[in-house]
């Protein structure tokens, strides 16, 4: 099967760091694109975006023009809006350093645009446009300027828009260079989205994130190394999942095994099983703690109970007694971890069975905590020679991979995936899915997915969904992992019957059925 590329490689979906963006721009200039033309295109595209949002500009516009080419973009915006009849004034907080920007500024004053001598009043109702530094920021900025912008932001008398990157925010880390950065109501990313803008740490500063297309050629985007894709709910319409043959029986529609729950956390087992059932997998089986096994038939009679688990004196599940009696090769996927608790002695005896499993192993929650406390530690993943997917949040990741350091969560996920040959879902406000070649950055997803219990539902859903697709594809790529995570998030966001995991599981069932129906039709 050919590798599925999802989403499309284009300027709307591709995310780059500041150096990659500068490299692309330099290549365009080397190919003959005049720098003046690129500045004109960026400024005019942003002006068109603003003209579609008349309430933002009806009280006038103040453009903060920076010393470099970001300031030049701002000057073009000021010119275009002024020529459309809007009241426009500009202020230069720093001496202008670029000739092109200075030329634009001189033209503005010649046609009647007001150039302020003193800083503008933060209590005014006009729109402020932050065109100070953009993608070229490398160090902290005058704190007085940032305080002035944020006074405007908090007063809410008029909106703040940042061009490309809010002033004071690192375009790669998504964190302020010093104590603070400009807080914008909107950030307009020019050309491509910058990595810093999609990080959790950037959320308090960027407001609504919008993309401004300046026509970066597709053939150049295809050559970008370290592919990072931004995916949102809009990309659900382009999700294609393999279609099962109409004559397939239940054993040919995905066989998955879930090892979940304990006396201490019995509910996690049910939630994980609910997720697996929601996927539509034909054969969902489980190893459950005695407490859950006794009653599971009442709430999920379709589950095949393979074995039960005893609990230690602390109420944590013991896996070894069950694993030694099961042939794991029967299953396309095995998910381990939700609510099993910590038992290091038990894990030491159990890990050889999981290392030897030849299918897709999905590790979540307490399975990851057991690994991080074990003698093998993260070398567990190197011992496994088969496909492994893990789903840590930030603290679990830190315990698993204490020696991996990066400027961003994207970098952390990619480095771990490369070093240990695994696929990772690094959970957060903007969750990340990564393998050793590509990264999928979820963006604009609903915060309702960050709730206790929904991670267990996700683990089961990933286990069931991957089992189905493995019966058709034999070897599924990390694209599938990213799709499952996005589907889970959307189900949580769109569920109208409630916000509990059971209701969201039902919503997942409907969502998957609709996608399959759409593909068949």
Single residue among 175, 193, 225 that ends a domain in this structure: 225
Instruction: Tell me: pLDDT of 141 over 90.
Output: no
Q: Is residue 367 part of a domain?
A: yes
> Is 492 found in the same domain as 387?
yes
- State the pLDDT at residue 453: 76
> Is 199 found in the same domain as 263?
no
Q: Is residue 213 part of a domain?
A: yes
> Is 484 found in the same domain as 439?
yes
More confidently predicted of 114 and 520: 114
> Is 214 found in the same domain as 247?
no
Instruction: Tell me: pLDDT of 358 over 50.
Output: yes
- State the pLDDT at residue 1: 37
- Closest to 384 in 3D by CA, of 361, 363, 412, 400: 361
- pLDDT grade for 2, boundaries at 50, 70 and 90: very low
- pLDDT grade for 519, boundaries at 50, 70 and 90: low
- State the pLDDT at residue 317: 97
Instruction: Tell me: pLDDT of 188 over 60.
Output: yes
Distance, in Å, from the CA atom of 315 to the CA atom of 165, rounded to the nearest integer, reads: 50
> Is 28 found in the same domain as 164?
yes
Q: Is residue 7 part of a domain?
A: no
Single residue among 180, 201, 225 that ends a domain in this structure: 225
- pLDDT grade for 452, boundaries at 50, 70 and 90: low
- State the pLDDT at residue 516: 74
Q: Token digits for 267? A: 């509910």
> Is 268 found in the same domain as 208?
no
Q: Token digits for 516? A: 């399959």
- State the pLDDT at residue 473: 87
Angle subtended at Cα 380 by Cα 374 and Cα 381, rounded to the nearest 5 degrees:
145
Instruction: Tell me: pLDDT of 63 over 60.
Output: yes
User: What percent of the chain clears pLDDT 70, i.e. is strictly above it?
Assistant: 96
Q: Is residue 3 part of a domain?
A: no
Q: Token digits for 440? A: 């999928």
Distance, in Å, from the CA atom of 413 to the CA atom of 174, rounded to the nearest integer, reads: 16
Instruction: Tell me: pLDDT of 521 over 70.
Output: no
- State the pLDDT at residue 449: 56
> Is 242 found in the same domain as 219?
no
> Is 294 found in the same domain as 400?
yes
> Is 204 found in the same domain as 258?
no
The domain that holds 201 is classified in CATH as 3.40.50.10260
- How many domains is the chain built from? 2
More confidently predicted of 179 and 111: 111
Distance, in Å, from the CA atom of 304 to the CA atom of 306, rounded to the nearest integer, reads: 6
Q: Is residue 156 part of a domain?
A: yes
Instruction: Indicate the average pLDDT of the chain.
Output: 93
Its sign, for the CA torsion 444, 448, 452, 454, is negative
Average pLDDT over residues 371-383: 98
Average pLDDT over residues 377-399: 97
Residue 369 and residue 397 in contact, taking contact as beta carbons nearer than 8 Å: no
Extended beta strands in 175-243, E state: 186-190, 193-194, 208-212, 227-231
Instruction: Tell me: pLDDT of 245 over 70.
Output: no
> Is 448 found in the same domain as 319?
yes
> Is 493 found in the same domain as 460?
yes
More confidently predicted of 320 and 475: 320
Q: Is residue 2 part of a domain?
A: no
pLDDT (tens digit, 9 = 90+) per residue, 254-306? 999 999 999 999 999 999 999 999 999 999 999 999 999 999 888 889 999 99
- State the pLDDT at residue 190: 97
Single residue among 188, 203, 225 that ends a domain in this structure: 225
Using CA atoms in the order 148, 131, 181, 439, what is the torsion angle rounded to 10 degrees? 160
Distance, in Å, from the CA atom of 263 to the CA atom of 518, rounded to the nearest integer, reads: 42
The domain that holds 290 is classified in CATH as 3.40.1190.20
Instruction: Tell me: pLDDT of 3 over 80.
Output: no
SS (H, E, C) 227-281: EEEEECHHHHHHCCCCCCCCCCCHHHCCEEEEECCCCCCHHHHHHHHHHHHHCCC
Q: Is residue 241 part of a domain?
A: yes
- Closest to 332 in 3D by CA, of 363, 304, 359: 359
> Is 89 found in the same domain as 35?
yes
Q: Note down the domain range covering 58.
A: 14-225
Q: Is residue 89 part of a domain?
A: yes
Instruction: Tell me: pLDDT of 148 over 80.
Output: yes
């Amino acid at each position: 099967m050919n590798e599925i590329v999802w989403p499309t490689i284009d300027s709307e979906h591709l995310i780059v760091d500041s150096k990659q963006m500068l490299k692309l721009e330099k290549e365009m200039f080397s190919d003959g694109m005049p720098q003046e033309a690129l500045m004109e295109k960026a400024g005019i595209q942003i002006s068109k975006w603003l003209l579609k949002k008349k309430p933002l500009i009806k009280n006038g516009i103040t453009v903060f023009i920076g010393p470099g080419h970001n300031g030049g973009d701002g000057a073009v915006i000021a010119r275009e809006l002024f020529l459309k009849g809007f009241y426009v004034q500009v202020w230069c907080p720093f001496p202008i350093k670029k000739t092109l920007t200075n030329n634009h500024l001189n033209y503005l004053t010649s046609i009647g645009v007001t150039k302020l001598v003193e800083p503008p009043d933060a209590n005014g109702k006009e729109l402020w446009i932050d065109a100070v530094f953009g993608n070229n920021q490398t160090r902290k900025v005058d704190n007085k300027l940032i305080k002035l912008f944020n006074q405007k932001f908090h007063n809410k008398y008029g909106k703040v828009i940042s061009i490309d990157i809010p002033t004071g925010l690192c375009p790669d880390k998504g964190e302020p260079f010093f104590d603070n950065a400009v807080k914008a109501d909107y950030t307009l990313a020019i050309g491509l989205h910058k990595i810093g803008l999609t990080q959790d740490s950037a959320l308090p500063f960027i407001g609504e994130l919008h993309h401004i297309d300046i026509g970066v050629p597709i053939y150049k985007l295809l050559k970008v190394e370290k592919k990072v894709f931004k995916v949102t709910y809009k990309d659900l319409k382009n999700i294609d999942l393999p279609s099962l043959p109409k004559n397939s029986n239940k054993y040919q529609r995905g066989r998955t095994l879930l090892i979940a729950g304990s006396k201490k956390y019995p509910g996690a087992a049910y939630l994980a099983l609910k997720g697996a059932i929601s996927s539509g997998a034909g054969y969902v089986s489980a190893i459950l703690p005695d407490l859950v096994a006794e009653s599971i038939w009442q709430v999920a009679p379709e589950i095949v109970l393979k074995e039960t688990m005893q609990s230690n004196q602390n109420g944590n599940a013991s896996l070894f007694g069950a694993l030694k009696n099961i042939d794991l090769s029967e299953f396309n996927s095995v998910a381990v971890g939700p609510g099993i608790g910590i038992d290091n002695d038990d894990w030491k005896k159990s890990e050889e069975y999981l290392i030897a499993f030849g299918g897709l192993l999905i590790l979540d929650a307490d399975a990851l905590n057991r690994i991080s406390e074990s003698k093998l530690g993260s070398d567990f993943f190197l011992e496994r020679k088969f496909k492994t997917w893990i789903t840590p949040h930030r603290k679990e990741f830190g315990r698993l991979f204490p020696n991996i350091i990066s400027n961003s969560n994207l970098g952390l996920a990619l480095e771990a995936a490369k070093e240990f040959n695994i696929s990772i879902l690094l959970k957060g406000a903007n969750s990340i899915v990564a393998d050793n070649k590509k990264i999928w950055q979820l963006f604009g997803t609903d915060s309702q997915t960050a709730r206790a219990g929904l991670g267990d539902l996700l683990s089961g859903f990933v286990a069931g969904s991957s089992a189905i697709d493995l019966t058709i594809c034999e070897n599924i790529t990390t694209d599938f992992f990213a799709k499952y995570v996005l589907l889970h998030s959307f189900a949580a966001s769109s569920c109208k019957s409630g916000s509990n995991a059971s209701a969201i599981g039902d919503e997942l069932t409907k969502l998957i059925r609709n996608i399959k129906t759409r593909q068949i039709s």
